[in-house]
Amino acid sequence: MPSILQAAVTIPFLGSTLPRDETICTFWFASDDAGDLTFEGNTDLIVDSLQDGYAEFSDYLAAYTDIGAAFIRLRQVDSDTGDQIGFNADQPFSILTHGTGPALPAECAVCCTTGGFAELGDWPATEASARSRRGRFYVGPLDSGVVTSDSVEAYYGRPSTAVRDAIALGAKTIGEHVTGGLVPSGISWVVYSRAVRTVTQILGGYVDNEFDTQRRRGMDPTERTEWGLEL
């Protein structure tokens, strides 16, 4: 199979230079004609598509995300082996807004699942071939305003319809922008399975009303409250 491009969007946290204090989302893109997808002539389109997608939901990112320092890294990968065969220098990634209120714990995220299925709603959960056609990206860390105000759903601390709609629209924007619409670009947003080395065009997806936990995004403690028995 041909080479494909991986785009990793990285958003650091304010006040930290530690690799653990950043969020990274990875996206894959491939040529529609099954040929090699290279950086030349394609980098700007991919970056612009992702920036437009993030613009739909960045208001829900936590206030401590350092959006001014966000960057994107593109790698060219051999889809047969999964090996890197080239990369572009990091470049700035434009995110203009984030939340302004208190944040949820850094580990909390909302997951957007993507897939290459002919019918929306056709999401088998256990079939091995279905797993290879399904991808996901995680939006977070999050502003506390993402928790729904619905009296029933809020009882369980679920993400709001508004944030789920915004992430879904962001994903739709990425997929439609990169394909070029009425003037096809020859590029598609895809799921790349490292396990079985398959590339599948993304046709849709979903965002559930349940938070996901990304433990690696957790912050180190800054204070400790001690206690002891008086015996």
Token readout for 195 is 């396990």
**What pLDDT shows up at residue 19?**
67
User: Does the structure show a pLDDT above 60 at 126?
Assistant: no
Q: How far apart are the first and last CA of the chain?
A: 71
Q: Answer for the pair 204, 119: CB distance below 8 angstroms, yes or no.
A: no
Which amino acid does the sequence have at 79? S
What are the two backbone dihedrals, phi and then psi, of residue 88, each rounded to the nearest 5 degrees?
Answer: -100, 150
User: Does the structure show a pLDDT above 70 at 4?
Assistant: yes
**What pLDDT shows up at residue 184?**
83
User: Does the structure show a pLDDT above 70 at 123?
Assistant: no
Q: How confident is the model over 97-126, as a mean pLDDT?
A: 81
CA angle in degrees (0–180, nearest 5) for 141-145-146: 60
**Cα dihedral: 162, 205, 137, 32 (round 10):** -130
Q: How confident is the prediction for the chain on average, in pLDDT?
A: 88
The rounded distance, in Å, linking the Cα atoms of 201 and 192 is: 9
The two beta strands, 134-139 and 22-31, are: unpaired
Number of CB atoms found within 10 A of residue 54's CB: 24
**What pLDDT shows up at residue 169?**
98
Any idea which of 43-52, 127-136, 145-154, 215-224 has the lowest mean pLDDT?
Answer: 127-136
For 126, the enclosing helix (H) or strand (E) is none
**What pLDDT shows up at residue 39?**
84
**What pLDDT shows up at residue 151?**
72
> What is the share, in percent, of the chain residues with pLDDT greater than 70?
90
Name 207's bridge partners. 112
**What pLDDT shows up at residue 216?**
66
**What pLDDT shows up at residue 89?**
81
Any idea which of 30-39, 95-104, 151-160 has the lowest mean pLDDT?
Answer: 151-160
State how far Cα 158 lies from the chain centre: 19
73-111 pLDDT, tens per residue?
A: 999 999 999 999 988 889 999 999 999 999 999 889 999
193-206 pLDDT, tens per residue?
A: 988 888 999 999 99
- Angle of helix 43-55 versus helix 161-179 axis, rounded to 10: 160
User: Does the structure show a pLDDT above 80 at 192?
Assistant: yes
Q: How confident is the model over 22-38, as a mean pLDDT?
A: 90
CA nearest 23: which of 99, 109, 98?
109
